[in-house]
Amino acid sequence: MDLSPLQKARYEYSPKLPRMLRHPIEEIEAKEGKATESVSDQDEIKKLFPNTYGMKEVSFQKGTSHAKKRKEVVGVILSGGQAPGGHNVITGLFDALKSASEDNVLIGFKKGPSGLIEDDYIELTKEYVDQFRNTGGFDIIGSGRTKLETEEQFAIAKEVCKKHGITAIVIIGGDDSNTNAAVLAEYFAREKTGVQVIGCPKTIDGDLKNDVIEVSFGFDTATKTYSELIGNIERDANSAKKYWHFIKVMGRSASHIALECALETQPSVCLVSEEVEKKQMSLSDIADQVVSSIVRRAERGDNFGVVIVPEGLIEFVPEVKKLIGELNDIVALKKDEFNAITEWNEKYSFMEKNLTKESFAVFASLPLDIEKQLLMDRDPHGNVQVSRIETEKLLIALCEKKLDLLKKEGKYNGKFSTLSHFFGYEGRCAFPSNFDADYCYSLGYNAFLLISNGYTGYLSTISNLSKSADEWKAGGIPITKMMNLEQRSGVKKPVIKKALVELDGKPFKYFEAHREKWATETCFTFPGAIQYYGPASVCDLPTRTLSLEHEE
């Protein structure tokens, strides 16, 4: 197989481990902290997880290990969308297993959780694993979005684990995938199988975080990749001086990516979904915010700019959020009736009949393309696939209408030529940054320590991430600690609570303090490509979000 020079070099990169994890495994001791409870709905969550609720937080320190002395056969699963660094979680797990004993075995279940149910697997050897060190993608075993939620699935998983002598399963995924991990851990504990389940926090969206999980892996690489592209577009815009670029970036449930990219590139406008919701802004209000920058810049002779739009923005607009909520419930509860309709006019009539009067009025006010995008196939959780909704084009249309009116009133004499972009897949499989390569390797290595010390239903955690890797801290947190109940497909289900952008947090406050200047003047910054080799001040730099959050 032909390899690029960078690919060859990355195979040879040695990820940095926290100082604590560099001790021999027999000299690492698990220290338990306080008992935990879920973030909300404590009584209901406790009833759903009687065997794995209320467990203690764990940290690792130098000492005498009390880990079990047994052969470990560990199954690993990549679940959900790709995120840079996933391969390194597996290589870290593999190296820790083999460091403890060459007899230990790592089995990779193919194409996500379905691999466990279908018993589709590969035994991961050093020769095979070495081909994927420090590389992007999930192609080492593939990924999938199958949900583990039925007793039938659990029973099959139990038998597959028994067949292979599996002692633990590691699920690498986001909030929904780790909710699945918690449910599977509860089932295995209830059935007294002895099989442990450990999760690892993955999502480029950055919304799997809390007081212990400082950032999910992949966020660093993805935002740096998008920021490079946005910086390139800003440079082009400042060169041509004739286009407004509307750039939608990933982030369905939170605006962490959009905010981080704004901190890195200082665009003319960055919309933050959480602020839109808090201020109860309508689509018209949002367009007014963008138009304000367009007009001010035109007065300076600058008929160009860059607008960053979070993927999930439309769901945070109050009247649209209510509409989408109703649509999700209607499509879930009347699925067969809705799916039987093929003609658009009939679908439109179906919506008029089933939506509330207020929500139908919002639906009817949208451009036809957006209406159709709202009724496309649902995601595996029954929700609108907002990545398919061309919010950036909707905003362009709204701004055009407002600018035409301002022209007629003699309040605007500029030119408004636009280009739209959506950055999504471009960031999901990039070569991981040094930060993500190190962080992910540490998460995988640490997952083995949780397994060897007998923990189940835990998420592998590495913290103190704004410091050098030497100072990172390793441990684990019960997955149930992060749970609450949410409406999914018309019913209340236990899920990991998503972390939204905190409007009183340091990253947003910094953005808020500077955005008026950015909206008027050309303040673009150009991050450039991710650097893998060179001074640590460039190559190991964490995100602006992480740095600001932990600024002393």
pLDDT of 379: 67
CATH superfamily entry for domain 319-389: Phosphofructokinase; domain 3 (1.10.10.480)
Compute the distance between CA of residue 146 and CA of residue 79 in angstroms, rounded to an integer. Answer: 8
Rounded Cα distance between 336 and 350, Å, is 13
Identified catalytic residue from 176, 205, 220, 436: 205
- The predicted model scores a pTM of 0.93
Nearest to 366 by CA among 441, 492, 282: 282
Q: Is 386's pLDDT higher than 80?
A: no
pLDDT in tens, 315-371: 899 999 899 889 988 888 888 898 899 899 999 999 999 999 999 999 998 888 888
Sign of dihedral through CA atoms 268, 272, 276, 279? Answer: negative
What lies within 8 Å, CB to CB, of 444 at 6+ separation is 88, 89, 90, 91, 92, 93, 94, 95, 96, 170, 200, 460
Which pLDDT value is given to residue 441?
98
Distances (CA, A) of 159 to 11, 20, 456: 36, 36, 18
Residue 51 has pLDDT above 80, yes or no: yes
Do 147 and 54 meet the contact criterion of CB atoms below 8 Å apart?
no
Better-scored residue on pLDDT, 236 or 370: 236
Same fold yes or no, 44-218+432-496 and 220-311+390-427+502-546: yes
The CATH number of domain 44-218+432-496 is 3.30.1490.100: no
The pLDDT of residue 56: 98
Specify the pLDDT at position 267.
98
CB proximity list for 436: less than 8 A, separation 6 or greater? 84, 85, 88, 217, 218, 220, 221
Mean local confidence (pLDDT), 508-524: 98
Q: Which residue has the higher pLDDT, 79 or 365?
A: 79
| Among the four given CATH numbers 3.30.1130.10, 3.40.640.10, 3.40.190.10, 3.40.50.460, the one describing domain 220-311+390-427+502-546 | 3.40.50.460
Is the confidence at residue 475, as pLDDT, over 80?
yes
pLDDT at 521 over 90: yes
For residue range 258-273, what is the model confidence (pLDDT) as tens digits?
999 999 999 999 999 9
- Domain segments of the chain: what residues? 44-218+432-496, 220-311+390-427+502-546, 319-389
- The better pLDDT of the pair 302, 148 is held by 302
Residue 17 carries which side chain, given as an amino acid letter?
A: L
Asked whether 100 and 130 are in contact (CB, 8 A), the reply is no
pLDDT(283) > 80: yes
pLDDT, tens only, 523-541: 999 999 999 999 999 999 9
Residue 1 has pLDDT above 70, yes or no: no
Q: What is the pLDDT of residues 296-323, one digit of tens each?
A: 999 999 999 999 999 999 989 999 989 9
pLDDT digits (tens, 9 = 90+) for 451-463: 999 999 999 999 9
- Say whether 205 is catalytic: yes
* Interval 490-510 mean pLDDT: 93
- What are the pLDDT digits (tens) for 415-430? 999 999 999 999 999 9
